[in-house]
Amino acid sequence: MLCGICGKKVKTKKTILNLFDPEIHHICEMCYMMYPLSPKSEMIPIEEAMIFHNSMIRGDSHVSGIAYMSFIKPYLKHYLSKYRDAIFLYLDDFKDISFLTLDSLKLGNIYLLTLYENIEEGEKL
Ligand SMILES: [Zn+2]
């Protein structure tokens, strides 16, 4: 499997415990050290519901979202176990949509997962 950022082959250290495990990550260790996963969660009240916002990477770095797709699974499990009645939205950026837009759609509770934590820029639109 190739790294989604640098394009090099992703190699994981093989031991007897993980010898036959499939490669699931799309990011190599060097790129992960440069752009580490730093999850953040917050609850944002809107007009008649709540937005459960989770972001995976701090700041507004421009790395490929494909590199982090293996990290979405824990968020999906969390959504299915605790927020099953909400709507699941995944966005790489929060620049093109704002809380006012989500609020005006009247979707109810929303479980929002974003790759970048650039929520402040999205609010300005
Ligand atoms: Zn890489």
For the chain, how big is the Rg over CA atoms in Å? 17
Cα-to-centroid distance, 55 and ligand 1 (Å): 21
pLDDT in tens, 59-115: 666 777 888 888 999 999 999 999 999 999 998 877 767 777 888 888 899 999 988
pLDDT in tens, 17-28: 888 888 788 888
What torsion, rounded to 10 degrees, do the Cα atoms 75, 76, 80, 83 define?
Answer: 50
Q: Kindly report the backbone phi and psi dihedral angles of residue 3, in degrees, each rounded to the nearest multiple of 5, phi listed first.
A: -70, 135
CA distance 28 to 48: 42
Cα-to-centroid distance, 10 and ligand 1 (Å): 7
Cα-to-centroid distance, 122 and ligand 1 (Å): 28
